[in-house]
Amino acid sequence: MRVLISGCGYVGSALGLLLAAEGHTVFGLRRNTAALPAGITPVRADLSETLPPDVLPRDLDAVVFAASPGGSSDEAYRTAYVEGPRRVLSALGGRDVGRLVLVSSTGVYGQREGEWVDEGSPTEPGGVSGRRLLEGEGQVLGGTTPGVVLRLGGIYGPGRNGMIERALRNPPPDDGPPQYTNRIHRDDCAGALRHLLLLPDPGPVYLGVDHEPADRRTVAEWLAAHLRRDPPENLASPRNGARDRPGRTNKRCSNERLLRSGYEFRYPTFREGFAALLEETARPD
């Protein structure tokens, strides 16, 4: 299989290495191709600009769009998730590509009361980022190339300890309702994308999250026990706590459709993933 990974960064590079190890031919499109790992053929291009028709490799079997926004503004999300897919589709010029997979986000959901959400739940995001993501999804799913969307939860993994640091530094109030978080390890992001690329007849949309949408307090207490520390002090308050942060959602994302399709998680919950990350961080250089 010949696969182009457009926006070949943190997740895309992991996917590329996974595919290359299996003998697939992988092309990685990004501005700085020097950052691509060995085994991925570089394609130097800027997704914020019009792509020349001859910049994309020929005879592609699939394209994965895994770009990230260059910031949190509406313009950054529009450039990444609306203009980016549009430019790739235009540069393909109607070529017979078997599948286009878009890496999206659970940010398209705006639920705030701890509801369970799945692929059929209402997508009514409160912020512009979620609306731009939906706009990009519409382009991919409504185009002539068969499209698949993978909506990822919060991504963590090697080099990304932010979730652990935030959980220890700022646990939620003790007296508040559960504040659910949804996450997925970088390696499972890559694994799920590979799975959807090879799946004979995928559905249009999948949620990429692990098995447990965990309450923030549960995560903080597990980390404290794992690191043999005292439970974290309550640093948030009803006035400045995360539950009242504008735009913060509170939802439980289900990965049932992805599991039914046959994908098996390497890190089923935050416990396995965080433990592996902490062990790796503790190793001497």
Q: How confident is the model at residue 6 (pLDDT cuts 50, 70, 90)?
A: very high
In three-state secondary structure terms, 13 is: helix
H helix runs in the chain, sequence order:
10-21, 74-78, 84-92, 128-141, 162-169, 186-198, 216-226, 256-260, 270-282
Return the structure tokens found at 190.
């890559």
**pLDDT tens by residue, 118-137:** 999 999 999 999 999 999 99
**pLDDT tens by residue, 192-212:** 999 999 999 999 999 999 999
The pLDDT of residue 243 is 41
The yes-or-no verdict on residue 144 having pLDDT over 80 is: yes
The yes-or-no verdict on residue 244 having pLDDT over 60 is: no
The yes-or-no verdict on residue 242 having pLDDT over 70 is: no
Cα 169 to Cα 235: distance, rounded to the nearest angstrom? 8
- Number of neighbours of residue 22 by Cβ within 10 angstroms: 11
Return the structure tokens found at 271.
């416990």
The yes-or-no verdict on residue 172 having pLDDT over 90 is: no
The yes-or-no verdict on residue 147 having pLDDT over 80 is: yes
Q: If you average pLDDT over every residue of the chain, what do you get?
A: 91
Alpha-carbon dihedral 190, 75, 48, 154, rounded to 10 degrees:
-10
> What fold is seen in the domain 2-160+182-213+252-259?
Rossmann fold (3.40.50)
The pLDDT of residue 236 is 39
The pLDDT of residue 193 is 98
The pLDDT of residue 231 is 58
More confident residue, 50 or 231: 50
Of all residues in the chain, the percent with pLDDT exceeding 90 is 79
The pLDDT of residue 70 is 87
Average pLDDT (77-101) is: 94
Q: How confident is the model at residue 10 (pLDDT cuts 50, 70, 90)?
A: very high
180-181 and 214-215 strand pairing? antiparallel
Give the full edge-to-edge strand order of the sheet including 99-105.
Answer: 41-44, 25-30, 2-6, 62-65, 99-105, 147-152, 205-208
Average pLDDT (57-68) is: 96
The yes-or-no verdict on residue 235 having pLDDT over 50 is: no
Q: How confident is the model at residue 143 (pLDDT cuts 50, 70, 90)?
A: confident
Provide φ and ψ at 100, rounded to 5°: -120, 115
**pLDDT tens by residue, 11-37:** 999 999 999 999 999 999 999 999 999
Radius of gyration of the chain from Cα atoms? 19
Cα 17 to Cα 191: distance, rounded to the nearest angstrom? 11
Q: Which of 1-5, 165-169, 235-239 has the lowest mean pLDDT?
A: 235-239
Average pLDDT (253-259) is: 98
The pLDDT of residue 239 is 35
Q: Do residues 106 and 153 lie in contact, with contact meaning Cβ atoms separated by under 8 Å?
A: yes
Contacts 24+ apart (CB under 8 A), 66-71: 66/5, 66/6, 66/7, 66/8, 66/9, 66/11, 66/12, 66/15, 66/103, 66/193, 67/6, 67/7, 67/9, 67/103, 68/7, 68/9, 68/10, 69/129
Average pLDDT (82-104) is: 94
